[in-house]
Amino acid sequence: MMTADEYRESLRKLRRAVYAFGEKIEDVVDHPLTRPHVNAAAMTYELAHDPRHEELVSATSHLSGRRINRFNHIHQSPDDLVRKVKMLRLLGQQTGACFQRCVGFDALNAIYIVSYLIDQEHGTEYHSRLRDFVAYVQETDVMCDGAMTDAKGNRALRPSEQEDPDVYLRVVERRKDGIVVRGAKQHQTGGINSHELVVMPTTAMREQDGDYAVSFAVPADTPGLTFIFGRQTNDERKLGGEIDQGNARFGFVGGEAMIVFEDVFVPWERVFMCGEYEFALPLVETFSSYHRQNYGACKGGVADVLIGAAALIARCNGVAEAAHIRDKLVEMVHLTETLFNCSLACSAEGQVTPSGGCYVNPLLANTVKLNTTRFTYEIGRLAHDIAGGLLGTLPSEKDLRHPVVGPYVQKYFQGAADFPAETRIRVARLIENMTSCSALVECMHGAGSPQAQRIAMFRQANLAEKIDLAKQLAGIADEGGA
């Protein structure tokens, strides 16, 4: 298993075209815009070597029998799924941020299950290819980016109906030695600091969409790839100073980027689906359920930090003993533990599939994510309520350090006697960072927007069985009456 420092050094060896603010970034490890995201991902490597946490952050490979980083593991039992969510909460607590490695983790597990089903139906070799790729990932401990979301163009049209055929990533050439693909994947969490890109289709497909039903893996420095780093709320603060960032070491959201595939070659041994359109939706749903499983865990860990920050700023403000403050903190805890309970439940109810991979309970996993789209906003609202209006009007770190106005800032932002102005400002900036627009949007739309969860939950609700239960107790023999 790689160490955190080895992970950073491995990124420096990659030669990629990464752009931000109209300029090319040569080294994502040290550039101020991307460094926090690298640090957050590095924690997934660091904790795997920590004796206190190695049982959560490492696992035994079912392929090699060797100890590996859990982020490269194929779940073998509900216990693996439970350990996963406990690991994610731990990492959320340690970073207060998105540590980015979940998407590739979930992609490997989803493709593991669905590639087996494709092989059973079509006699293909996708599953053995995927197993070989997983063995490579486990051996080298590389970080994988799970790339699903396409640009989509006109959402009312299917992939093959688009005016620009490239707004969904597609196969443009099939060769004896592999395929050539073109398109883009958007909102790619951790894309700029991953070693491998694991690509999946983004929606259900029909026969005419066959060129878009493609899944594969390519190294992140493959020719033809361009990374365009996304803007985040207050991201220019990373370019100077520390306090104004709130969480200078780890940032918050996952360093999302758009990845452009301009006629990228993929050898057949790294292709896991190519034209089997009827399996596009099962792959999307399997991946989405795994990814939605995560949200009560990682967001629960981040919420633990936010609850602590809210409690601390209440002390700074001298109101920690007020009854309404305690009530608000209890509500934040209640919402957080409810999210975590859902993640645990969908994991404990997981089932081993014919592939050998263990799959979460999809109805409960979608419940986790739909709750996250609501509860996280309420947790943030309560933190704002407790913190007060200074979140929106704090002067900058430069003003705090200024020889003329600095003493005024020190004097008038002083809180209770034990809390100097800088302490109060630091915790306020942390709350601001953790409840920014970018952070909340990620909770809303990451792993799919709320409507996606509602659609999945309706499919899995088994209303016919529930109707039968009601009819039985009501004494109704058929649809016409008793």
Q: Is 189 one of the catalytic residues?
A: yes
In angstroms, how far is the first alpha carbon of the chain from the final one?
A: 65
Helix (H/G/I), strand (E/B), else coil: 460: helix
Helix (H/G/I), strand (E/B), else coil: 149: coil
- The enclosing H or E element of 437 equals helix 437-445
Place of tokens 């627009």: 437
359: nearest Cα among 152, 111, 118, 153:
111
Q: Is 102 one of the catalytic residues?
A: yes
Candidates 7, 126, 442, 443; catalytic one = 442
Candidates 44, 73, 102, 276; catalytic one = 102
Place of tokens 């970080």: 143
Distance, in Å, from the CA atom of 56 to the CA atom of 69, rounded to the nearest integer, reads: 9
Candidates 112, 212, 291, 435; catalytic one = 291
Q: Is 397 one of the catalytic residues?
A: no
Q: What is the amino acid identity at position 394? A: L
Beta bridge mates, 352: 358
Candidates 44, 189, 372, 373; catalytic one = 189
88: nearest Cα among 307, 324, 339, 259:
339
Strands 225-229 and 17-20, sheet pairing: parallel
Helix (H/G/I), strand (E/B), else coil: 185: strand
Please enumerate in sequence order all residues whose Cβ is within 8 A of that of 325, keeping only pairs 6 or more positions apart, or say none: 314, 319, 386
Other beta carbons within 10 Å of 17: 14
Distance, in Å, from the CA atom of 438 to the CA atom of 256, rounded to the nearest integer, reads: 10
Other beta carbons within 10 Å of 397: 20
62: nearest Cα among 290, 344, 355, 293:
355
Place of tokens 């079509």: 122
Helix (H/G/I), strand (E/B), else coil: 283: helix
Candidates 46, 256, 276, 432; catalytic one = 256
Burial of residue 172, with CB atoms counted within 10 A of its CB: 0-12 exposed, 13-18 middle, 19 or more buried? middle
CB burial string 19-43: b at 16+ within 10 A, e below:
ebeeeebeebbebebbbbbbbbbbb
Candidates 144, 274, 298, 358; catalytic one = 298
Q: Is 442 one of the catalytic residues?
A: yes
Q: What is the amino acid identity at position 5? A: D
Other beta carbons within 10 Å of 482: 8
Other beta carbons within 10 Å of 237: 20
Phi, psi of 47 (to 5 degrees): -70, -20
- The enclosing H or E element of 13 equals none
Q: Is 163 one of the catalytic residues?
A: no
Q: Is 443 one of the catalytic residues?
A: no
Candidates 98, 144, 316, 443; catalytic one = 98
Candidates 75, 295, 359, 372; catalytic one = 295
229: nearest Cα among 199, 196, 270, 187:
187
The set of catalytic residues is 98, 102, 189, 256, 291, 295, 298, 442
